[in-house]
Amino acid sequence: MNVVILAAGQGKRMYSDLPKVLHPLAGRPLLAHVIATARSLKPGVICIVYGHGGECVRETIAQPDLVWAKQEPQLGTGHALAQALPHLNPRTPTLVLYGDVPLTRTQTLQALCQAAGKGVALLTVELEDPAGYGRIVRSRGKVRRIVEEKDASAAERALREINTGIMVLPTARLKAWLAGLRNKNAQKEYYLTDVVAAAVADKVPVSSAAPAAAWETLGVNSKLQLAELERAFQHGVADALMQQGVTLADPARIDVRGSLACARDVSIDVNCVFEGEVVLGAGVSVGAHCVLRNVKVAAGTRIEPFCHLEQADIGERCRIGPYARLRPGTTLAEEVHIGNFVEVKASQIAARSKANHLAYVGDTTVGRDVNIGAGTITCNYDGANKHRTIIEDEVFIGSDTQLVAPVRVGRGATLGAGTTLTRDAPEGALTVSRAKQVTITGWKRPVKKNKEQK
């Protein structure tokens, strides 16, 4: 089949300079969701009709196999589809989708295509409040036409079956039907919906199909509607996770903006955000208010609340946080402890090593069974270049230590608290760098003067 995605609208009610179809839902542009669904049908052609935002839309959705057709000016949905006609295979049917309707499921569209046969099929839904939508007008149960609300009579406005806009059309008939459209209506536009009446006049069968849920057909015209669809999407994600055995403290308070793969007995507390590709191994627990972006977490690891992890690979039975930050390039082996207010960047930390509080480990290779004391930092940046620190196995680093890279700490070495290390520390030895402690006897602390003394 051909798939045409109409994505030329401006979206005035979004009150934004960003084209409507590029507003994000679950971390991806609305249009990207629609393209992904179209691809699931394996069509021969995917043509996107664009207009408002122009090259910004094309640059953001940079996929080489897409066909683009520009609509300028925007004269309605019928006019939009006409711009795509030169790119379509006339021997196969055309499915019309919308760049701001992101949640339609593949199985719904497959059912619609089956209903069409060689004729026309409309995706329709009945709403308690159909205000704002075009109505399906039937006679003896058969679809006769679609009337837009602004052009509808009182009796037609009372109808509850609405047009979602999504339809399957015989491509070979489209050229004549679109050429026959007129803009004698309240909006002075060429309505694609008018082809239904043309099909009826030509005795082409017109059928309909309905989605499993009305939210599949909802579009975005405002930030409020965008937020409502975001919640609908996340509700579906939460349901799927729980059906797989994931424990969610509150299904209404999770955001997945990419893919989240969970093994058995994973538990996730409230207000966690998962971005990109995240993999959680068996028995992993994620505390409240964490952000994980492109992270792999092995079995048995516990992530305490308020952690921010990005492009990190975390081994088994680690303990992270609370308030820890793992930046890109971090790799932790098994049983590593990264505690509160510890930041790790572009570093590899071997088994059972610990940095339990108030430390920065950057551009560092840390061996196994290392203890990094509070207030320790690796000084990896000289203002122009990054340098690496090597900490070998079984090292003990005292609190408030600075390691000025490039520097190496030998196996089994101990660095005394307050040390500023600028040269390599030999293995098995105590290295201390601090000012000599002095006590001044007879010294008196200054006394604050009161107002009378002033």
Nearest one of 425, 404, 423 to 415, comparing CA atoms: 425
Q: Report the distance separating Cα 34 and Cα 21, nearest Å.
A: 10
- Concerning whether 357 is annotated as a catalytic residue, the answer is yes
Long-range contact pairs involving 58-61 (C-beta distance under 8 Å, separation at least 24): 60/22, 60/29, 61/29, 61/31, 61/32, 61/35
Q: Which residues contact 319 (CB under 8 A, 6 or more apart)?
A: 301, 302, 304, 336, 337, 338, 339
The residue among 54, 94, 93 whose CA lies nearest residue 70 is: 54
- Find how far residue 317's CA is from the centre of its chain: 28
| Residue 243 DSSP SS3 | helix
Cα distances from 203 to residues 119, 171, 196, 329, in angstroms, run 9, 16, 11, 64
Within 106-247, residue ranges assigned H as helices are: 106-116, 154-157, 171-179, 195-201, 223-243
Measured CA distances, 207 to 43, 170, 194 (Å): 21, 13, 15
31 and 5 Cβ atoms separated by less than 8 Å? yes
Identity at 39, one-letter amino acid code: R
SS3 content of the chain, % helix, strand, coil (to 5): 20, 35, 45
User: How far is the C-alpha of 292 from the C-alpha of 224, rounded, in Å?
Assistant: 26
Residue 82 amino acid letter: A
Q: How far apart are CA 118 and CA 346, in angstroms?
A: 58
Residue 357 amino acid letter = H
Cα 68 to Cα 8: distance, rounded to the nearest angstrom: 11
CB neighbour list of residue 452: distance below 8 Å, 6 or more residues apart:
none
Q: Which of 52, 337, 357, 387 is catalytic?
A: 357
Q: Give the active site residues.
A: 357
